[in-house]
Amino acid sequence: MAKRLIVIGGGAAGMFCAVNAARKGVSVTVLEKTGKLLSKVKVSGGGRCNVTHACFDIGEMATRYPRGERFVRKAFHRWFTVDTIGWFKERGVELKAEADGRMFPVTDDSQTIIDCLMKEANRYGVEVRFHAEVTELEAVAPASGGADGASAGFKVRLKDDRLLEADYVCVACGGYPKSGMFDWIRKLGHTVEEPVPSLFTFNMPGSPMTKLMGVAVPEVQVKIVGSKLVEKGPVLITHWGLSGPAVLRLSAWGARELAAGGYRFGIQLNWAPEFTEQQARERMQEWRYERAGQAVGSRNPFGLPQRLWEYFLGTAGIAEGLRWADLPAREQNKLVSLLCAGNYAIQGKTTFKEEFVTAGGVRLSEVEPASFESRKVPGLFFAGEILDVDGVTGGFNFQHAWTSGWTAADTIAGKNT
C-alpha cells in the first residue's frame, strides 16, 4: 500500500514537496486554504519569478539568510542551487542569471514555473483540495514501522469538519498567520518564533522627496541610525518612500528590531557611497575650478539622476543658474551633507500581500536540517516559510522552498511504512 502524505499549503515549498514525493510512489494530497496554488510564484520578481540565485558556494549562499544561516548551510548539502537549475532544465525550463545574480526563467514569465510544477502534479496524480483550511492536526498511534523506526500516523481536521488521515504530514503553509495556524503546531509540542514582516519598503509620509517617485539610483548606502545595520545597492524613490534591493535587504536584517520600534526609525543615506563627505567636498572643489563658468544645476560630478540633483540643490538653497565658481561654502556644505549623510524619518512600512515574507516560524532547533523532519513528532515535516528561515531577497527564499520541499519528499519516500 502506498504511503499517504498530506501537504498543508500549495505554495512553492508545498508543491515541490508534493510532486517530488508523488513521482517516487507516495500518495499525495495537497490542502490549500485559498482557491489558487503558487500565488507567490505568480507575482514574484515582477511576474517573472526569481527562481533562485546564481551562487554556487554553500557557505556564501548561507550568509544571505538573516535567520537560519547555520540551518540552511547543512540543508544545502542535500539540495542546492545546481540541483534546482537541473531539476527545471530536465523538464524543459531553462533559467538565466542576471548581472545581480538573480535567476529567472528565460521566458521572463512566472507562469512557466507554475506550468512546469502543475504538469508534474498532474503527471503523478497529486490530489489538490482547495478551500481546505486546517484547524487541527493530531499525531495518532504509530503506523507499522520498519527498521528506521515507526512513523506516526496523523489526523487532519478541516474547517468544514472533514477529517483526513495520512502516514505523513508536511506543513508548508508559510506567511503571516491570520488564523490559528500556529495553534495546532504548538499543540504538537513545537515552539514558534513570533513572526514579523520581512522584505518591506520604507514609508516617508509627507516627505517632499516622494515627489521624485520613479527615480532610481544604482548604488546607495542606507544605514539605520543608531544601529549597525547598513546596506548598499539600488534604491528606488516611490510615492510612499523608498524601495529597491538595498532597502529590502535592510528590512530583512532589521526585521525584528524595526518591528520592536513600531517601524519608526531614522535612516542616513549616502547617494554616492564611493565618496565620504570630505571626498565629496574635494570633488566639488575640483569642479569649482574645472567648470567655473558652468551652472551647478547643468550637470553633477556624481552621476546622479538629474531630478535628484536638482532636488538636492533646491533643498540646499542653491539658486537656479548659479555657477560653480560662485557656489558659497555654506551652501556647498549643505549639499555635501544631503548627498553623503542625509537623514530621513521613516514612519511605517509597505508590504505587498501576495509577496509577503516573514521572519519567524517553527524553531529550527526542533527540526532536522538533513531531512526537515520534526525532532519532536516522527513523520511530521516542515517546508518553506513556516520555518524560522528567511532570505534577503526572493530568490533566496525560493531556494529554501525548493531545498526543504525536495528534502522532505525524498526523506518520506525513503522511509519504510
Domain shared by 77 and 139, yes or no: yes
Query: Quick one: 44 and 179 in the same domain?
Result: yes
| pLDDT value, residue 155 | 97
The pLDDT tens digits for 325-367 are 999 999 999 999 999 999 999 999 998 655 578 899 999 999 9
Q: Rounded to two decimals, what is the model's pTM? A: 0.88
Is the domain of 330 the same as that of 259? yes
- Examine the fold and report which residue of 324, 350, 376 is the final residue of a domain before the chain moves on: 350
Please, what is the average pLDDT of the chain? Answer: 93
Residues 156 and 174 placed together within one structural domain of the fold: yes
For residues 326 and 243, state if they share a domain: yes
Q: Quick one: 193 and 220 in the same domain?
A: no
Specify the residue for cell string 549597525. 228
3-state SS, one letter per residue, for 48-117: CCCCEECCCCHHHHHCCCCECHHHHHHHCCCCCHHHHHHHHHHCCCCEEECCCCEEEECCCCCHHHHHHH
Pair 160, 216 in one domain: no
DSSP output for 182-245: HHHHHTTT--EEEEEEES-EEE-TT-GGGGGTT-EEEEEEEEETTSS-EEEEEEEE-SSEEESH
Which one of 350, 375, 394 terminates a domain? 350
The model's confidence at residue 45, banded by pLDDT at 50, 70 and 90, is confident
What's the pLDDT score for residue 357? 82
Q: Are 331 and 377 in the same domain?
A: no
Looking at the fold, whether 247 and 142 belong to one and the same domain comes out as: no
245 plus 363 within the same structural domain? no
Is residue 229 domain-shared with residue 300, that is, in the same domain?
yes
218-259, pLDDT tens digit by residue?
Answer: 999 999 999 999 999 999 999 999 999 999 999 999 999 999
Least confident of 53-62, 118-127, 132-141: 132-141
| CATH value at residue 113 | 3.50.50.60
Give the tens place of pLDDT for each residue, 130-182: 999 999 999 996 544 433 444 559 999 999 999 999 999 999 997 655 557 78
Domain count for the chain: 2
What is d(CA 145, CA 377) in angstroms, rounded to the nearest whole number?
15
For residue 66, the model assigns a pLDDT of 96
Domain of 149? 4-197+354-413
> Which pairing describes strands 241-243 and 230-237: parallel, antiparallel, or unpaired?
antiparallel
How large a percentage of the chain has pLDDT more than 70? 94
The last residue of one of the domains, among 315, 350, 385, is: 350
Give the mean model confidence (pLDDT) for residues 193-220: 95
Question: pLDDT for 390-417, tens place per residue?
Answer: 999 889 999 999 999 999 999 999 986 5
Do 213 and 339 lie in one domain? The reply is yes
